[in-house]
Structure formats: structure tokens, C-alpha cells
Structure 1
Amino acid sequence: MSPFDSSFAFPPFGAASRRSPVYARNAMAAASHPAAVEAGLGMLDRGGTAADAAVAMAAVLAVVEPCSTGLGGDAFVLYHDAASRRVTGLNGSGRSPQALDFDTLASRTGGALPPRHALAVTVPGACAAWCDLLERHGVLPLAEVLAPALEYAAEGFVVGPVTAHLWAEGADALRAAGGEELLPGGEAPRPGQPVTSPGMARVLDILSGAGGTEAARRAFYAGEIAADIVTAVRERGGVLDASDLAAHRSQWAAPITTMYRGLRVSECAPNGQGITALMALDVLSALDAPTFGDGFGPARVHAQVEALRLAFADSRRYVADPDHEDVPVRGLLDADYAAQRARQVLPGRRNPDIVHGTPPASSDTVYFCVMDAFGNACSMVNSCYMTFGTGIVPRNTGFALQNRGHNFSLDPASPNRLGPGRRTYHTIIPGMLHDRRGTLLGPFGVMGGFMQPQGHVQILSALADDGCDPQAALDRTRFCITDGTPGGELAVEEGMPEAIRVALADMGHPVRMVGGYDRALFGRGQIILRDPHTGWLTAGSDPRADGCAFGY
């Protein structure tokens, strides 16, 4: 077979990576697809800010990785503004339909909420988040920012090997929901296959020609695109209404933070699960985890697993929509509470009795990041949740609608219970790092459902405990508590030292090794850091994705 034949076979993931970190003096972008990196740097070259670059990257990824992201999903952002030296968080998660309640669920599904059902569709918040980010921090016109994505949608792009694998995994979900628009020729595209997206070209053309961000927001949430969304959901048994879309608004909020080994770690506030990572880091700080064993070894990994099990127990109990529930953020991040929880980490064995505590009163995805020459930084996640979300694709739009509603609890006593106009416990979490003095170090993140806080903890440990560069931190083998619950199975990545795997099993952890393309389970991250002494940027891009980091 010729190497120039687009259908040639790509080898599966190996157990090891050899990538060098990327260095640049002025600006840097990192994403899971090279086309997105190119688009982001193009905005910076035009004088744009990190916000302009991030939205351009989000839009390109919506075209070239529709299995993982798109305008049918949500977005969360952390943005460091160089002028004010402040970080703000943008919550671009949508709400459940006003007509969705337990009686409706009972009448339509018998009381269950299948992950791909149209009742799991929440209002897609990404478009509003893009517009809000540009309005506050961008300088370029929306049409210019969306131009690279529009070109790829109309003229075509080539599908990468990892994206092709994920596309194929989601093909049955598309067929089941009538989403064949995203199956060119009736099948998932092969690695190396050129593909166009006429539906996304139409949508991006509407947004680009609307006349600015406010007009684009109206075009999406109150125009023909909104009508297409409502029609698609209702045809599949959902209750989303035009009024739900028209009422959608993003929210700006201060991030939540903690210190870990001299690093100030920022995450978006609930309803996101960033607090899970911070709680786990606090437990590790209380344990002084690096003293367990000899660096990256069984004792440290065991401590990280147990800290995350404790953190998940609390986040799954308390994280919910703060507009509807009192989420005890201050209590969950209290140092004394962390010390109390740390006492449940048993040296040398898994604690079988981890449950949520009582704090003192007080989700498939893309992650990408960018730092500009002005000193701004943007950390952003855009997602449709599971691969292709519900699989429902509104007519001639080129995007699948998310299934975030599946994360609602069906326990009426839960703070995260299903109900009208509510935002569910959300998995997507961008991160940002500063030093003790508040000097920006840079954005970081690891995409992938409930893997995300686990990925944050593991790469931060590599950076802070072992002095790894960004690429080495991303290359390190990972573990994943697979379902985000304290009792979840522990998946261990192929390539993790056998001594660690055996020791974890001996400690009582239900270990399962995962290799090949299934390594996508362990997330796909990006990191950009500025050296506070030299000012140079260093970046890494996850070997588990098709992307890269690049700068100038």
C-alpha cells in the first residue's frame, strides 16, 4: 500500500511518547488538533488577544473534532487579564428545559434518563460563551475570528487518527439519533480522509454575517438555528423549548483556588467539578504526599487515588447549581477539613469505607489554551460531553447536541437533582497557575469527563513534586477512577511501571490495565508555562491526541 494512500493504517498508541517541550519568546497556543493551533496563532499575528485566539481555536475544533466538541455543547473559561492581573471565570454551561421535571421523566421514560435520550439535552452554552469572551477580552471582529473555522468547514480538513477513532466510536449513537449528517457517505471518516462540514459552514456563515457578538448571540438562540435545535429535540422526545434557548445567559464568576507546593491553582467555581481537584490537592498537602515512598512510585500513586476518591465523594454529594443550592465551597476547601479527610487515607491499603464528609459551614471534550504577547492567558474547555453527546444533530447544522442532563441525580434529595432551569454537575474544568506572589505561570488542563480533576492532580504533581517540564508531565502514564465515584474501578495506563500496578492491586485497588486507542480514557491535556526568571514560554501537548503546541 502506498504511504500516499489516505486509507493507510495508522499504528495504535504506543506505551511511551518521545516529544520535546516547545519553547517560544512571545506567544504560544496548544490544542488537540494542529489546525486549531494555527488558527489561534493567526489571530495573535493579527494583533488579537488570547481571547480572540481561544475562540478561533474553539470554532476550528468544533469543525474538525465534532465528536468531542461543538456549538451543541458547553464551554468554561479561565482568563488571566494582564492589565488588571486578575483571573476571571466564565461559566458557559446551559440549563435544563423549564418543562423537565420528575413527572415528565416518568411519563416519557418510566423514570430513567438514558444517556443519549433527548431529555438529556440541556441548552448549549458554547456560542454565548464565545461571544461573551470576545466582548470582554477580545479586540478582533467576530467574523475575522470565525474565518478559519468557516474555511475548514466549507473547503475541507483532514481527519486525524485519534479523532477518527473517536468518530467511529460514536457512529452508532449518531445513527440511533438520526445524526447521519455527521457520517459522510454513511460512515465515520478514516484517518487521513478529507472531510467538509456544510452544516457548520452554514451556521458559521450565519454567525459571521450577523454583525457582531450580540447579533450572533440572537441569531443562535432566537433565530433559525434555535428553531432547528428545538425541532430536532422535540422530534426525538425531548421538551426543550424556544424560550429555554432565548433565556440563556453565561455567568462570569471569580475562580476558586488553593495552594499546592508553592503553586496557586485556580479552577472554575461550581457547578463545575474543578473543586474536586482542589480538594484532592488539599488532602495531598495535608499528607505531605511526596514523602510517601520514592517519588513517582506506588505510595504516591496510592495517596493520589485515595485523595481523589475522597474528593469525588464530596463533590458528588455537594456540587450543584449555585443558583439553586448552597454549595459549601469555603467549607470544602477549609484546611482543617482537608486534614480531617486526609486521616482516611490509609498507608498501604485501600480504604473500603470512603463516603462524603460534612464540611464546616461557611465530562469527551477538547481542552486548549493560549498565551499572547500582551501577557494574557486563556484556559478553555468546550465539550458536547459523551462522544457526539446525544447523537442528535439539528438539520443542516453540523453539530451534535450535548447530553449534559445525564449528570443530574434522580434522587429528589440530592442538591444536583433533576429539575427545570437547572445546571447540572459539570465535568469540564480549565485550570490556571500562578506563583505565590500572584505572577502568572500559565494555563493547563486535561480533558475527558471525570478524568479531568484526576488529570489535573497528576500533571500538577509531575510539575510541582518532580520538576517535570510541561511535555514530560503530559507524557507520564496515568490512572483513572473510571466512573467518578469513590468505589470506581481503577484503570491504569499501559506503560505504567509494573511494580506500581502490582503494588496498587496488593493494596486492594481494583486495577485494570488500558492500552491502545482506549488510552483516550486518560484524557488529552495541554500546558503552557512562562518561566518567571527568563520570561520564555514552555509548552507541551498530549501524546494521546492529534494536536501540538507551537508559538513564536
Structure 2
Amino acid sequence: MRDFQLPGRSAAMAMNGMAASHNPHATRVAIEVLRSGGAAIDAAVAAAAVLAVVEPQQTGIGGDCFVLMSKNGTDEVSGYNGSGRTPRGLPTSGLAPEGATQVEDNSPHAVTIPGAIDAWTRLVADHGRKEIGELLAPAIDFARNGFPVHPRVARDWIEDAPRLQRDPNAMKVFLPKGRPMRAGEVFRNPGLAEALDLIARNGRDGFYKGPVAKEIVEYLRGLGGYHTEDDFAITQGEYVTPVRTTYRGMEVCQIPPNNQGITALLMLNILEGYDLSELQPMSAERLHLEVEAGRLAYRDRDAFVCDTSKASFPFEEILSKDYAARLRAEISTDRFAAHLPPPLMRRTDTVYLTVVDRDRNCVSFINSVYWGFGSTRVSPTYGITLQNRGMGFSLNPDHPNAIGPGKRPLHTIMPGMTLKDGRPYLVYGVMGGDYQPFGHTHVLTGVTDFGLDPQEAIDQPRIFHSMGETIVERGIPGAAIRGLQEMGHKVVVAPEPHGGGQMIMIDWKEGVLIGGSDSRMDGCALGY
């Protein structure tokens, strides 16, 4: 139990339905959808649409999404890959300056065809109880009539302003006063309202056919892109079978590659060999093991994760407990392993939300435009921020994740779900680009190994390893920092929080939903 004399908040609790997102407008809309008879997927899509308006630096209809779902509280977990592909006419070379290792962040070649709207409309049609037009109405209202900018959004807006200044359309839409929006100021995006209204009236065709697709294609081709209206028209996500492992009696589910979710499963397999519960939650020993497991798992991620429709992936070996044991043998419990190659990490922006309804339909939902304001390429009339997921490709033609026509890149955004005794137990996610496998592992072990509730697990200070540095949030105790340094870690203080997160736990015995939402963001968990 938390110390009520210290800053913090309690977990939300309810019996009927619950939603958690990192903006209060989105969480409220999700609860309203549930209370009016909507299913969990209806509430999730309505909330995602609101977030696409009120958190423009994090997400948008010009991005991608991934979803995990459990139907009626059963172990039937399905996944949906709503990530887009490169244009079919994209060449395999000449897409970046000589010597570059990745496509530039604002290059038209970084803009993959957005998959979010196809996913939203398909999932609502297949699993929802409401029409897409009704679900988009709150987002349309926010875009047309405005909303007050929340503090974390304003902070990010300031950070991303120099990138926005590179594109005249981005400046017109997102720097309307010649500067970033400030907390409490009202922001409107009427062009985005018109695009959402077209989708509300015409479904997926409102985005992938007609004036919206035509404008985006013309805009990108004017920048040197290879996109066509046919590329938009044929865009389609698909249901996927989740990849799974076991940890402390739970079954942990993730989206398979091209998603990086398998990285978290590998981290958990490695950590399962240690009795973490014998350690203090914020001890150097626990954090050291987390870092070392992460470094090994990310090494394999960077080597193998790809579009598996275009290249092979060693699923069985990477998920085997024997393989994890071999990796575990490379870890010293009291010394930083200097011989491991550092993975290349990048910070990105994403929104994650989770919803559980009265029938215990569970949705783990994540949507993103990748970097802050994506590519900062914005459609001129409709104010749509276009993602830069193409940066996730390798420019090495021999790499399984090499850039090429009609391919999906390595994707960092990952929804999570665990099962216990054959039923959903934790529905959760942690944002933050490359940090996400670390975040998933940190909050999950917080619950399972240290007995924390969802809010406590999400509130725990976080640690990350990037480019040879162990990056600690300011909440990590000084004793733990000194211990890590004695083990050989190069410790630096994080310049910004490590991601954000949401979690809903299902207590089947009491019939209670327990939710947490990250104080690093602006949102909340609510139930009824």
C-alpha cells in the first residue's frame, strides 16, 4: 500500500467497466461509450480518435496501430496488425544521403501508408456495437470547436517546435500563433475535423479513397515520394496470432514481428531465472538484472525483427526457455557486461489505452505517428500529421529489415496482455518508442514479483539502457545509483520521463477492475 503522506494517487476501482488513457478527455469519452452500451472496442476507438486530436504530438489518423483483444474474459486472445507499408513503387536505394544508416525523419520516404483508420473501422465492424460515425463524433467536436492543451502536451509541443518549423503546412496548423501552444490555450484543427467527418460518413473510404488520399499523395509526391492513390486504396491490416511466453504462472501475450513485442517476452524469459522477489524493488541488483536482460534482448531484436511476410524469423528459438538460459549465462549478477554491443535506441511518441467492458471484453490498444508530430509533414487542407515509421527500416540491403517496396518496418509500439488461470489478468502497455520492452517488463515484474497494484507499478521510477549509458529517472534512489556505478554502469539522469503507461487488472474473485494511469502524462483511469 502506498504512503498516503507522499504525493501519488490510488488505483481506480470499479465493477462494470473501466478505461485508462493518458488524456482525461479520451478516458471520459471511453466511459461514456461503455455506459451507453458500447463494447470495449467501441470505447477504445472513440478514445483513440479523441487522442488523435488532443495529443497531436503523439498520435493521429496519419499513423498506425496495434491491438490485442480478449473476448468475454476468455483465453481467446487475438491480435490486429494495423501497421502500413511502404509504397509499392519505392526503390531499394537512393533514399538517404551517402553513409546514412536510416531514412531522415522528415523525408517522404519515411512516410509509410497509415494503417490506423483501416484498423479502427475493421475492428468496430467486426467486434463493436456502434457505428463508426457515432464513435468519431467526440473527436470531430474537439477538432472543430477546440480543446484546452494539457501540460504534458504543451511541454512536448515546445520540444518539437523546431522540427515543425521545417514544413510550412506544419507551421500553419500547429504553430498558429507563431509559437508552440501553451498549457491552457485552446487549440483547433478544423481541417482534421473535415477529414474525420469524411471517415464518419464514408468509413475507411473516407480516408483511403477520395479527396483525403488524393491530397496526401499529391503532397508527398511533390516532396519526392513514391506514394500512389492505389497504395492507399489497397491498404489493409490483418488479424494475427499473438506470440506468447509464460512468467510466474502467467501467460504473456504480444503482437508478433514486425512488432518488437517479442523483445519483452525474451526479457521476461531471461529474468524468470532470478528470484526477483528476494530483492528490493528499487535496488541496484534488481535494476542491474533488468538492464542486462534488456541489452541481450535488444541485441536480438535489432538483428532479427522484420516484416515476416518478406523474411524469416526464428520464433521457436528466441522464445524457448533453453535459449533464455543460454543468454542468462552471459549475465553477471554484480558486474556490467562490457562485451555486449549497445543497441541503437531512439525516443518516440505514442498513445496507449486500455478498456475492459461489463462483459469482460478486454482491449489493449496502441496508436502512434512515431516521432513527435511524426514526420512533421502535414497535409495542407486536412491538417493530418503523417507518420515517419519508415525510419524503422535498415538501409543495409542484406538485413532482414531492409527497406523496400510494399514492406512493413520494425515497429516499436506494442500492446500487452497477460492471462492467469485461463482468463485475462493484466491489460497494459507502456509507451516510449524503443523503451517499451523495458517498460512492459518493469511494470509487469512490479506486479508479479513485488506485489504492486497497477497504479503503484506504473508509478515506480524507471531505468533504461541506451548507447552505452544507464539512464535513470530522478526517482531512482541514490543508493541504487551508487550500486549501479560500482557494478560498472555509466549512469546518467534521464532528461525526460521514460514513456507513460496504463494498466487494468481484473480481480475475478471479487468482480473488480483495478486501473492505473501514468502520472508522467496527463491522463487517468476511470470506471463505473
Do these two structures clear the TM 0.5 threshold for a shared fold by scoring above it?
Answer: yes
- The reply to whether residue 337 of structure 1 matches residue 323 of structure 2 is yes
Which string of whole-angstrom CA distances, capped at 9 and with x for unpartnered residues, describes residues 451-497 of structure 1?
11110000011100111011111111001223xxxx54221000110
**Does structure 1 conserve the Cα–Cα contact (< 8 Å) formed by 2:257 and 2:307?**
yes
- The reply to whether residue 89 of structure 1 matches residue 74 of structure 2 is no
Which string of whole-angstrom CA distances, capped at 9 and with x for unpartnered residues, describes residues 525-546 of structure 1?
0001111221101111000000
Query: In the superposition, relative to structure 1, how do residues 320 and 409 fare at CA in structure 2: closer, same or farther (>3 Å)?
Result: same
The Cα shift of 1:83 comes to 7.1
2:63 is aligned, of 61, 69, 73, to 73
The Cα shift of 1:84 comes to 5.8
Q: Distance in 1 between matches of 2:241 and 2:235?
A: 20
Question: Unpaired runs of 5+ in structure 1?
Answer: 1-15, 211-215, 357-362
Q: Distance in 2 between matches of 1:383 and 1:450?
A: 13
**Does structure 1 conserve the Cα–Cα contact (< 8 Å) formed by 2:157 and 2:181?**
yes
Equivalent AA in structure 2 for residue 50 of structure 1: A
Three-state SS of the structure 2 residue aligned to 1:150 is helix
- The reply to whether residue 377 of structure 1 matches residue 369 of structure 2 is no
The Cα shift of 1:111 comes to 6.0
1:253 is aligned, of 191, 216, 240, to 240
**After the TM superposition, which of the residue ranges 438-447 and 467-476 deviates more from structure 2?**
438-447
- The reply to whether residue 462 of structure 1 matches residue 446 of structure 2 is yes
The Cα shift of 1:232 comes to 2.0
**Does structure 2 conserve the Cα–Cα contact (< 8 Å) formed by 1:105 and 1:111?**
no
Equivalent AA in structure 2 for residue 414 of structure 1: H
Which string of whole-angstrom CA distances, capped at 9 and with x for unpartnered residues, describes residues 507-552 of structure 1?
122211125xx22xx0110001111221101111000000001010
Three-state SS of the structure 1 residue aligned to 2:33 is helix
Partner of 1:162: 152
**Does structure 2 conserve the Cα–Cα contact (< 8 Å) formed by 1:52 and 1:134?**
yes
The Cα shift of 1:140 comes to 0.1
Moved beyond 3 Å, runs of 4+: 109-112, 287-291, 293-296
Query: In the superposition, relative to structure 1, how do residues 452 and 17 fare at CA in structure 2: closer, same or farther (>3 Å)?
Result: farther
Partner of 1:397: 382
Superposed, 1:262-301 pairs within 5 Å as 262-291=249-278, 293-301=279-287
Partner of 1:424: 409
- The reply to whether residue 508 of structure 1 matches residue 488 of structure 2 is yes
Q: Distance in 1 between matches of 2:519 and 2:244?
A: 28
**Does structure 1 conserve the Cα–Cα contact (< 8 Å) formed by 2:306 and 2:410?**
yes
1:493 is aligned, of 460, 473, 498, to 473
The Cα shift of 1:22 comes to 0.7
- The reply to whether residue 306 of structure 1 matches residue 298 of structure 2 is no
- The reply to whether residue 325 of structure 1 matches residue 311 of structure 2 is yes
**Does structure 2 conserve the Cα–Cα contact (< 8 Å) formed by 1:177 and 1:390?**
no
Partner of 1:145: 135
Q: Distance in 1 between matches of 2:78 and 2:252?
A: 13
Equivalent AA in structure 1 for residue 476 of structure 2: M
- The reply to whether residue 539 of structure 1 matches residue 524 of structure 2 is no
Partner of 2:178: 186
Three-state SS of the structure 2 residue aligned to 1:20 is coil
Query: In the superposition, relative to structure 1, how do residues 40 and 295 fare at CA in structure 2: closer, same or farther (>3 Å)?
Result: closer
**Does structure 2 conserve the Cα–Cα contact (< 8 Å) formed by 1:371 and 1:442?**
no
The Cα shift of 1:132 comes to 1.4
Partner of 1:441: 425
The Cα shift of 1:354 comes to 2.2
The Cα shift of 1:300 comes to 1.0
The Cα shift of 1:17 comes to 4.5
Partner of 1:6: none
Partner of 2:345: none
Q: Distance in 2 between matches of 1:510 and 1:85?
A: 42
Partner of 1:32: 22
Q: Distance in 2 between matches of 1:501 and 1:85?
A: 41
**Does structure 1 conserve the Cα–Cα contact (< 8 Å) formed by 2:281 and 2:446?**
no
Q: Distance in 2 between matches of 1:67 and 1:93?
A: 18
Three-state SS of the structure 1 residue aligned to 2:272 is helix
**Does structure 1 conserve the Cα–Cα contact (< 8 Å) formed by 2:282 and 2:476?**
no
**After the TM superposition, which of the residue ranges 281-290 and 127-136 deviates more from structure 2?**
281-290
Which string of whole-angstrom CA distances, capped at 9 and with x for unpartnered residues, describes residues 307-341 of structure 1?
01000000110100011011112210001001001
**Does structure 1 conserve the Cα–Cα contact (< 8 Å) formed by 2:253 and 2:418?**
yes
TM-score of the superposed pair, with normalisation by structure 2: 0.95
1:203 is aligned, of 185, 195, 217, to 195
- The reply to whether residue 474 of structure 1 matches residue 454 of structure 2 is no
Equivalent AA in structure 2 for residue 364 of structure 1: D
Question: Unpaired runs of 5+ in structure 2?
Answer: 1-5, 343-347
**Does structure 2 conserve the Cα–Cα contact (< 8 Å) formed by 1:442 and 1:527?**
yes
Q: Distance in 1 between matches of 2:142 and 2:281?
A: 45
Superposed, 1:98-113 pairs within 5 Å as 98-105=88-95, 109-110=97-98, 112=100, 113=103
- The reply to whether residue 548 of structure 1 matches residue 528 of structure 2 is no
Q: Distance in 2 between matches of 1:159 and 1:235?
A: 32
The Cα shift of 1:347 comes to 1.7
The Cα shift of 1:263 comes to 2.0
Three-state SS of the structure 2 residue aligned to 1:323 is coil
**Does structure 1 conserve the Cα–Cα contact (< 8 Å) formed by 2:282 and 2:480?**
no
- The reply to whether residue 173 of structure 1 matches residue 163 of structure 2 is yes
Aligned length: 514
Q: Distance in 1 between matches of 2:384 and 2:465?
A: 30
**Does structure 1 conserve the Cα–Cα contact (< 8 Å) formed by 2:392 and 2:409?**
yes
**Does structure 2 conserve the Cα–Cα contact (< 8 Å) formed by 1:69 and 1:383?**
yes
**Does structure 2 conserve the Cα–Cα contact (< 8 Å) formed by 1:489 and 1:511?**
yes
**Does structure 2 conserve the Cα–Cα contact (< 8 Å) formed by 1:364 and 1:449?**
yes
Partner of 1:523: 499
Partner of 1:124: 114
Q: Distance in 2 between matches of 1:99 and 1:511?
A: 45
**After the TM superposition, which of the residue ranges 497-506 and 58-67 deviates more from structure 2?**
497-506
Query: In the superposition, relative to structure 1, how do residues 231 and 174 fare at CA in structure 2: closer, same or farther (>3 Å)?
Result: farther
The Cα shift of 1:85 comes to 4.2
Q: Distance in 2 between matches of 1:457 and 1:442?
A: 13
Equivalent AA in structure 2 for residue 183 of structure 1: L
Query: In the superposition, relative to structure 1, how do residues 100 and 490 fare at CA in structure 2: closer, same or farther (>3 Å)?
Result: farther
Q: Distance in 2 between matches of 1:110 and 1:22?
A: 52
Equivalent AA in structure 2 for residue 506 of structure 1: E
Q: Distance in 2 between matches of 1:322 and 1:208?
A: 33
Q: Distance in 2 between matches of 1:28 and 1:195?
A: 28
**Does structure 2 conserve the Cα–Cα contact (< 8 Å) formed by 1:222 and 1:242?**
yes
Which string of whole-angstrom CA distances, capped at 9 and with x for unpartnered residues, describes residues 178-236 of structure 1?
212122222211001111110111011111111xxxxx212211211111111221222
The Cα shift of 1:260 comes to 1.3
**Does structure 1 conserve the Cα–Cα contact (< 8 Å) formed by 2:244 and 2:252?**
yes
**Does structure 2 conserve the Cα–Cα contact (< 8 Å) formed by 1:29 and 1:549?**
yes
**Does structure 1 conserve the Cα–Cα contact (< 8 Å) formed by 2:86 and 2:408?**
yes
The Cα shift of 1:355 comes to 5.2
